[in-house]
Amino acid sequence: MYYIYMLNKKLLKIDQENAFSTASAYVKEYKQAHPEKDVISLGIGDVSKPIVAPVIAAMHKAVDDLADMKTFSGYGNYYGIDELRQTIVDNDYRGLGISKEEVYVSDGTKTDSTNLLELFDINDKILLGNPTYPIYRNGAFALGREVYYTDCDSNYKMIVPNEHYDIIYICSPSNPIGIAYTYDDLQKWIDYALKEKAVIIYDNVYSCFITSEDVPKSIYEISGSKNCCIELNSFSKRASFTGLRCSYFVLPKEIDDKLFKERTINRFNGASYVAQKGAVATYLPESKILLEANLKAYKDNIKYLKDSFIKMGFEVVGGDDSPYIWVKIKENIKSFDYFKLLLNEISVVVVPGAIFGQSGDDHFRVSGLGSIENSKEAVKRIMRYYEEKN
């Protein structure tokens, strides 16, 4: 502890009580104390489908590439291999005016959402929703930044402020609430950003779950967005890369075409070659068929969970364009207390809403990324609990 005065004191602002790590530690302790219990998690953010065969084959080939200097790939691909960057443009941004040079490949959106702050002045005002994905808040603290909040309206969408902010984080489809912003919703934010000369960091990692016609698959479908929006995306949920790690973001040249490239050369040696070749293979026709089947299973699962919680008398939002639903607690207790109640009484795990901010403390998050079999068993236990309670 000699050097405590040298440490980044902003890290002390990270909420260590209402945190994923706190909930995970409690579940771990419960499992150790009750090894006979079959604990089912409805809070899981990880996937329950493996990486599909064509992608695995491509990564095997990539490993072989590294065994021969004729095909070896080493330093130099700081922004991602050209093949993947162009494939992303051709598939995800066709007709939207995005070039390969505006695409940066990385090792995870959690990393990207924080690293992008290095492009901006340390005194820039950062605006978050309440509730929000905690990584935005904690990542800003880690870099010595201050954050501010705007509440959500009755539709659980961030309220456009009257005062000035420099950087706005928007996640749509939303984690944790599970709702998605429409074209009209996003146009309001883009108009605000253009007026205030602000930048929107748009977390779009759940775009693969979008089914609603009034919800854009990319923010660059909206007029003015290239002048003020940086879009994040990932292969984690749509291709089961949660352990492999590969993501990308679009930084339009209208915002910056030089500074972040220089920053990246000095701070990042590039994402894994093997992971990137696997990402390229996710766009193969045979891969798309398999990946759509996986996504359909998740969509069916979250629909089942949403319908079930509504039938049990809960207030529920989300789940139509997202793998998450946001459920209001019936009892007059805080979310961590409810989380502990369900775990201790029926061995079911949900995510306490307090993890996402004070405004979430009367809710919990449920995920459809697990298996339908586990979801059905968990619903059965919750229904039985309330039947016996009443």
Q: How confident is the model at residue 5 (pLDDT cuts 50, 70, 90)?
A: low
Q: How confident is the model at residue 4 (pLDDT cuts 50, 70, 90)?
A: low
User: If DSSP codes are grouped into helix, strand and coil, which group holds residue 316?
Assistant: strand
Please give the share of the chain, as a percent, with pLDDT higher than 90: 94
How many whole angstroms separate alpha carbon 217 and alpha carbon 194?
A: 21
- Whether residue 217 contacts residue 210, with contact meaning beta carbons closer than 8 Å, is answered with yes
Mean of pLDDT values over 289-310? 98
pLDDT at 18: 80
Which residues have CB under 8 Å from 152's CB, separation 6+? 129, 130, 131, 158, 159, 177, 359
User: If DSSP codes are grouped into helix, strand and coil, which group holds residue 168?
Assistant: strand
pLDDT at 10: 83
Task: Please check whether the domain covering 53-284 is classified as CATH 3.90.1150.10.
Answer: no
Closest CA to 39 of 377, 386, 380, 384: 377
How many whole angstroms separate alpha carbon 285 and alpha carbon 229?
A: 30
Between the alpha carbon of residue 237 and those of residues 33, 92, 93, 204, 240, the distances in Å are: 32, 16, 19, 11, 5
Closest CA to 116 of 190, 200, 237: 200
pLDDT at 16: 81
Average pLDDT of every residue of the chain: 96
Q: What are phi and psi of 154, to 5 degrees?
A: -65, -15
In this predicted structure, the answer to whether residue 314 has a pLDDT above a threshold of 90 is: yes
pLDDT at 390: 77
pLDDT at 2: 53
Domain boundaries along the sequence of the chain? 7-50+287-389, 53-284
pLDDT tens profile 217-226: 999 999 999 9
Mean of pLDDT values over 69-77? 94
Does pTM surpass 0.85? yes
In this predicted structure, the answer to whether residue 137 has a pLDDT above a threshold of 70 is: yes
Task: Give start and end residues of each alpha helix (H) in the chain.
Answer: 20-33, 53-65, 82-92, 109-115, 134-142, 183-196, 236-239, 259-267, 273-281, 285-311, 335-346, 372-389
pLDDT at 17: 80
Which residues have CB under 8 Å from 271's CB, separation 6+? 80, 105, 106, 107, 245, 246, 247
pLDDT at 7: 81
CA-CA-CA-CA torsion for 21, 27, 32, 35, nearest 10 degrees?
Answer: -150
pLDDT at 305: 98
pLDDT at 372: 97
As its CATH architecture, domain 7-50+287-389 has: Alpha-Beta Complex (3.90)
Mean of pLDDT values over 295-300? 98
In this predicted structure, the answer to whether residue 303 has a pLDDT above a threshold of 90 is: yes
Task: Give me 318's structure tokens.
Answer: 């989300």
Q: How confident is the model at residue 3 (pLDDT cuts 50, 70, 90)?
A: low
In this predicted structure, the answer to whether residue 67 has a pLDDT above a threshold of 90 is: yes
pLDDT at 40: 97
Task: Give me 314's structure tokens.
Answer: 């809960």
